[in-house]
Amino acid sequence: MKLATFIHEGKERVGIVDGAGVIPVPGCASMEDLIRTSLPAELPHVRIPLDEVRLLAPIPRPSQDVICLGMNFADHTHEAAKFHPTLVRESHAVYFSKHVNEAVPDGGMVDSHPDVTSQVDYEAEVAVIIGRDARRVKRENAREYVFGYTILNDISAREVQTRHKQFFLGKSLDGFAPLGPWIVTADEFPFPPAIGIRCRVNGELRQEGNTSSWIYGIEDVIEELSAGMLLKAGTIISMGTPAGVGMGFQPPKFLKKGDVVICEADGIGTLTNTIG
């Protein structure tokens, strides 16, 4: 099932994407509300054509920071070694947070913040959506807490990361979180999922990987994080990016105004954004 947040007749709504239409879900104020309460037993016999709505990010304004994993693909770890040698030597998962005031939807413009950075980079990732409050979850039970999956482009300002010697600021500029186009529920995939990921910039294939190559899987992450913190329903965990980011090229291929970035994940869809 595909679940989307959209604008129709000036009102923000949540719905089920069904072919070329969307079925609005009554009584849900937001996607996070739907995740917490589940779908109602009966849905209206109304299907709004997709071309009559404007899709937002599935969780447009996350109630907490996105939890991200760094260096979770071996090939990306190798290409990042020259930039973050200390992190690459770590024997545990690398976690950081990404502050998101408002996620950018499919088709939206990404502000490149030229007054702040000249090294804007892309990172195509599959993000996990937590389906119910999780505390002290054992890895064998982790799948019970997964609501679904979406695509996150973990846009990053590389020299800001380098200057501050950590990820938070360089990944948290306004507009640096394209998310979408919707959430696909976990029952559409085996567990753990094997989802192909690709990223193209102006039609050029830059990244290609598969979630089966994650160093730390969903069960590892949920068990480790929930051991000491509550993962609330609706929490977004972005699981890391494969090799091929702009900083890994010689010379680097950073994004510039007008570039079109397409992140694709098999079984989920495509997330397309233009750099502004």
Which tens digit of pLDDT belongs to each residue from 166-187?
A: 899 999 999 999 999 999 999 9
- State the DSSP H helix or E strand holding residue 205, giving kind and residue range, or none if neither: strand 204-210
Domain boundaries, the chain: 2-55, 66-275
pLDDT score for 79: 67
Contact assessment for residue 206 and residue 241, using Cβ atoms and an 8 Å cutoff: no
Instruction: Tell me the β-bridge partners of 204.
Output: 201
Cβ neighbour number for residue 114 with a 10 Å cutoff: 11
The three-point CA angle 240-134-27 to 5° equals: 95
Asked whether 195 and 211 are in contact (CB, 8 A), the reply is yes
CA angle in degrees (0–180, nearest 5) for 228-229-235: 145
pLDDT tens-place string over residues 267-276: 999 999 999 9
Domain with residues 66-275, CATH architecture:
Alpha-Beta Complex (3.90)
| Burial (CB count <10 Å: 0-12, 13-18, 19+), residue 159 | middle
Q: Write down the pLDDT at residue 57.
A: 99
Full-model pTM: 0.95
Residue with token string 């000491």: 228
For the chain, first and last CA: distance in Å? 32
Residue 175 corresponds to which amino acid? G
pLDDT value of position 41: 78
Report, as ranges of residue numbers, the positions in the chain whose pLDDT lies below 70: 76-90
